[in-house]
Structure 1
Amino acid sequence: MTVVKPLTWSGVVGLPRSDVFAWHERPGAVARLTPPWLPVRVVREAISLADGEAVLGFPLGLRWVARHSGYVPPAQFVDELVSAPLRWGLRWRHTHEFHDEGSWTRVTDRVETTVPPVLLRAMFAYRHRQLGMDLAAQATARNSGDRPMVVAMTGSRGLVGSALAPFLTTAGHRVVRLVRGRPDGPDERRWDPEAPADDLLRGVDAVVHLAGASIAGRFTQAHRAAVRGSRIGPTRALAELAGRTTDGPRAFVNASAIGYYGPDRGDEVLDETSTRGDGFLADLVADWEQATEGAALAGLRVVNVRTGLVQSPRGGTLRVFRPLFAAGLGGRLGDGRAWQSWIGIDDLVDVYHRALYDGALTGPVNAVAPAAVRNAEYTATLAGVLRRPAILPVPSLGPRLLLGGAGASELAEASQRVYPAALLAAGHRFRHPALEPVLRHLLGRDRNRVG
């Protein structure tokens, strides 16, 4: 197979070269740079950029093993595909170069490969944008007092945790994953949700509690019991343990949801001071947040992150909508007037990060973008990003057949115009305050590509 001319992508990030190179050496860098729309997962990261190997998992059990070499810190390192059967028909040698550009850094990727350039441009454009945004967010945090911490995390393999954990480790924090099964190495500890061990949180500076059964589904008695059972008791037990661990955490950051405000509040703008709504989810969230009281009474700073509709092709609504809209089968739900309060996955990561280091942030925090959109605008925007029509409205009967009446009312048909008052009062800056740019970034459809 003929090897094409080496391909080059280059961009500038606003930090010194030593900082940018060090970021690439920390655990989590590969995960943070892997585009979320690709069917790829990080199986193992390299221990060293000098001679280690990183392993990526592809569909059908294929493994991409990249061996590192050419290590000249802080100037360059190389990774090369070495795994069969991929290397039999595919060449890949990727040189990562770092050059001073004043007090900033030019990052250049040079790739010798047989992969057509058209298949790579979106990936490298994403990598450069993501690197720049992550480094900027982490620099802002350091300037605001962020220091290396040991963070215990439940739900680290879920949608939010799989993005947050590598972000924290590339920022210099240590993440201790609390797992239900057998621990694998020093950065995992076994967690019994009903009766956590007394020493579980020793030596930990903060807890991020993300675990819980998926809320999506028909609101049967069994489903409601599973959703409540996976949240209330385990949260209470973990919060009380955090409160009584003498050499344990000082902050307890708990996942929560904007379901607190009820399924439909019309055009009312809802901030953290708004009253609780009605329905199963409102009751669930109220009890879920109340379950953190043990940590608060012990003097820990508690933050309940009330999350909106998370935008990521790896999960949530976007994972469901993307293939439908890509096939031209998407459209508004009903009359399209329902409010959708959304947040990009990386902005949500920044909110959790801020909840860890910002000592002034406490209580409920609405994790949503500043501008909620109506369903009609959301669907039109997604269709435009994917360059497909959105002309097939979804009748209300569809969600009700899938979710039942109560489930459809509180999930698919929910209308909540939520505003992130606490974050904006704290001076928080969103990476993507508008919907179209975040969809373009996450789906590889950004107009401004590096090259």
Structure 2
Amino acid sequence: MSARFVQQLPHRRERVADWFARPGAVTRLTPGAAPLTPRAAAADLAAGETVFAMPVGLSWRARHDPAAFIPGRRFADEVVNAPWRALTGWRHVHELADSRGPGGAGTVVVDRIRARVPAAALHGLFAFRHTTLAGDLAAADRLAGVLGIGAGVGREPGERLPRLTIAVTGASGTVGTALVALLGTAGHEVIRLVRGAAAGPGERRWDPEAPAADLLEGVDALVHLAGAPIAGRFTEAHLAAVRDSRVGPTRRLAEAVAAAGTPVVVSASAVGYYGADRGGEILDEDAAAGPRTEALAGIVADWEDAWAPARAAGARVALLRTGLVLAGGGGLLPPLAGLTRACLGGRLGSGRQWFPWIALDDLVDLYHRAALDPALAGPVNAVAPGGVDNAAFTRTLAEVLRRPVGPPVPAAGPALLLGRRGAAELALADQPAVPARLVSMGHVFRHPGLAGALRHELLRPAPERG
């Protein structure tokens, strides 16, 4: 089988070629919903291997073909390990060609696939790749515009963004993996702060209980994502783990920021700050915190307050109060999609509770913007403008997956898994958070609508109209 996929981009070929060659490109182009997870990327496009982990301990090893490589114009890879070489014979040739359009120089990207794989199975994959590549380049140009950076001689705005050294905690999680890749393809130097031994120059060991004095040496911005998963049964032990992984380590990082003079901090936070049920109140960033008698609201408020030493030292601290992240490879979406595919995906309780979602790519765009944009400080609601209630989310997911809506889940159902408090503060929480600050700043979301976000992450592109 041979397949050919073509994409037209309004960007210089040299810029597109640079994007493909940078660290993180393989991760950015690999859908979370695919049964492949990048584990090691080839050092360059001319030679070397990229290794993907697969289910049940299998792997996929793609080796670059030096004979096919033409700098800035062509590179190729083929699978070399058993059983996939014999089963599929996969070979992928990437070609970049100059083009001209009304806006000036552009690029035609052609992907040629030769493999014993049904062509229909590749459409979702390449729709994801095309959307991601175009979205990353366009987002960089928009960010340059926000910063007042225009085009230069032979360079587009996004190519002229400042290049920072950015340290990231929680870099191996769903959001952290995508963010590190985005920052890498944008040209930044990324330092992963890891709890274990550092594996190379791109990592530093971080002890959350006692950060090293030189942890943030030479760092322009710190992104803090680490923390124990909030989802789970709200036992005292679980809530203690959630709190202890956030409040204390954050305060010690804030003290390290103050000591090092790190100028920028971008920290995860959560819409749980507002409490479980505000009676339909629209929640912008000026809304009051929820009652500290609620476990999650109290933890999030203390988590945000823990950055006080960094703010007192003059650091710009942005707090991204994040909603429910839609990612094909982790978090809430895969289990919900699995239930929906089995025709068991029904609304929770009344279904009237608000579902403040955000697409993964939009979230990492916000972290990138917050690291560079001096106008972003304090709380920012990291949610999409197209919020919906639980019933509407359930219907839209069923439509994208072409399944009927499942039977409603009684309100008592989530309590069996999460406990009474967990059900009230997570599954049944009604938090109509809106991205008021971002909208007022003219921020552009890649996926402002729910259906488009779900189609992208679940590899279900909209049918072509003919």
In structure 2, distance between residues paired with 1:266 and 1:131: 41
Q: Which amino acid aligns with 2:268?
A: A
> Structure 1 residue 144: deviation in Å?
3.5
In structure 2, distance between residues paired with 1:174 and 1:26: 11
Say whether 1:80 aligns with 2:78: yes
Deviation per residue, 1:58-108 (Å, 9 max, x gap): 112222111112221211111111112211222111110011111111110
In structure 1, distance between residues paired with 2:46 and 2:60: 18
Say whether 1:112 aligns with 2:114: yes
Match of 1:22 among 18, 21, 35: 18
In structure 2, distance between residues paired with 1:17 and 1:143: 21
Contact 2:31–2:329 (Cα < 8 Å) also in 1: no
Match of 2:9 among 1, 8, 13: 13
Q: Which amino acid aligns with 2:126?
A: F
Contact 2:171–2:180 (Cα < 8 Å) also in 1: yes
TM score, norm. by length of structure 2: 0.93
In structure 1, distance between residues paired with 2:248 and 2:376: 25
Say whether 1:130 aligns with 2:132: yes
Equivalence for 1:301 = 316
Equivalence for 1:46 = 42
- Please list, as runs of the form range in 1=range in 2, the aligned pairs for 1:43-442 lying within 5 A after superposition: 43-69=39-65, 70-102=68-100, 103-145=105-147, 146-246=161-261, 249-278=262-291, 279-442=294-457
Q: Which amino acid aligns with 2:9?
A: V
> Structure 1 residue 165: deviation in Å?
0.5
In structure 1, distance between residues paired with 2:464 and 2:31: 14
RMSD between aligned residues: 1.4
> Structure 1 residue 139: deviation in Å?
2.1
In structure 2, distance between residues paired with 1:408 and 1:427: 35
In structure 2, distance between residues paired with 1:266 and 1:373: 16
In structure 2, distance between residues paired with 1:363 and 1:58: 40
> Structure 1 residue 384: deviation in Å?
0.5
In structure 2, distance between residues paired with 1:77 and 1:253: 36
> Structure 1 residue 449: deviation in Å?
6.3
Deviation per residue, 1:395-417 (Å, 9 max, x gap): 11111111111111000100110
Q: Which amino acid aligns with 2:439?
A: L
SS in structure 2 at match of 1:9: strand
Contact 2:32–2:330 (Cα < 8 Å) also in 1: no
In structure 1, distance between residues paired with 2:200 and 2:464: 39
Match of 1:34 among 30, 33, 48: 30
Q: Which amino acid aligns with 1:50?
A: A
In structure 2, distance between residues paired with 1:140 and 1:74: 24
> Structure 1 residue 448: deviation in Å?
5.4
Q: Which amino acid aligns with 1:18?
A: E
In structure 1, distance between residues paired with 2:64 and 2:35: 23
In structure 1, distance between residues paired with 2:406 and 2:342: 12
> Structure 1 residue 220: deviation in Å?
1.2
Q: Which amino acid aligns with 2:418?
A: L
Deviation per residue, 1:316-338 (Å, 9 max, x gap): 22122010001111111111111
- List runs of 5+ in structure 1 lacking aligned partners: none
Deviation per residue, 1:15-56 (Å, 9 max, x gap): 100000000000100100011211211010010111121111
Deviation per residue, 1:127-160 (Å, 9 max, x gap): 1111111111122223434311111000001111
Which stretch shows the higher mean deviation, 58-67 or 302-311?
58-67
Deviation per residue, 1:202-261 (Å, 9 max, x gap): 011000000000111111111111111000010000111011114xx2101111000011
Q: Which amino acid aligns with 1:83?
A: N
Q: Which amino acid aligns with 1:296?
A: R
Contact 2:167–2:222 (Cα < 8 Å) also in 1: yes
In structure 2, distance between residues paired with 1:415 and 1:18: 48
SS in structure 2 at match of 1:101: strand
SS in structure 1 at match of 2:288: coil
SS in structure 1 at match of 2:320: strand
SS in structure 2 at match of 1:403: helix
Contact 1:313–1:322 (Cα < 8 Å) also in 2: no
In structure 1, distance between residues paired with 2:190 and 2:144: 18
In structure 1, distance between residues paired with 2:80 and 2:274: 53
Contact 1:153–1:208 (Cα < 8 Å) also in 2: yes
SS in structure 1 at match of 2:281: strand
In structure 1, distance between residues paired with 2:167 and 2:50: 25
In structure 2, distance between residues paired with 1:78 and 1:371: 40
> Structure 1 residue 267: deviation in Å?
1.8
SS in structure 1 at match of 2:376: coil
Contact 1:14–1:136 (Cα < 8 Å) also in 2: no
Contact 2:28–2:178 (Cα < 8 Å) also in 1: yes
Q: Which amino acid aligns with 1:128?
A: H
TM score, norm. by length of structure 1: 0.97
Contact 1:122–1:449 (Cα < 8 Å) also in 2: no
In structure 2, distance between residues paired with 1:107 and 1:87: 25
In structure 2, distance between residues paired with 1:444 and 1:40: 14
In structure 2, distance between residues paired with 1:8 and 1:38: 20
Q: Which amino acid aligns with 1:67?
A: R
- Residues matched between the structures, number: 445
Q: Which amino acid aligns with 2:11?
A: L
> Structure 1 residue 371: deviation in Å?
2.5
In structure 2, distance between residues paired with 1:223 and 1:202: 34
